[in-house]
């Protein structure tokens, strides 16, 4: 089932980017693995952008 935001993007293919806000309750013991995964993912994306000569202006580089 598509969320409303996904339907809007599919209906208007001229939209190039979308901001999605997610609210959820997380127990404190679950925060560390989520934060680790986020930081690893961010590092991989920044490394790929750097290696392919994309501009990362305004992005904190934490490699």
Which one is predicted more confidently, 22 or 8? 22
Q: Is residue 5 domain-resident?
A: no
Query: How is the chain split among helix, strand and coil, in percent rounded to 5?
Result: 50, 0, 50
Q: Is residue 1 domain-resident?
A: no
Looking at residue 27, its pLDDT comes to 76
Q: Are 49 and 56 in contact (CB under 8 A)?
A: yes
Where residue 58 falls (left for φ over 0; alpha for ψ -120 to 50; beta otherwise) is left
Looking at residue 51, its pLDDT comes to 86
1 pLDDT band (50/70/90 cuts)?
Answer: very low
Q: Is residue 37 domain-resident?
A: yes
| 22-59 per-position pLDDT tens digit | 777 777 788 888 888 988 998 998 888 888 877 656 65
Which one is predicted more confidently, 8 or 20? 20
Domain span holding position 38: 25-63
């Amino acid at each position: 089932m598509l969320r409303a935001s996904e339907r809007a993007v599919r209906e208007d293919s001229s939209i190039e980017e979308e901001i999605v806000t997610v609210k959820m309750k997380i127990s404190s013991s679950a925060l560390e693995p989520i934060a680790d995964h986020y930081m690893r993912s961010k590092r991989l994306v920044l490394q790929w952008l750097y290696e392919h000569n994309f501009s990362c202006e305004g992005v904190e580089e934490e490699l």
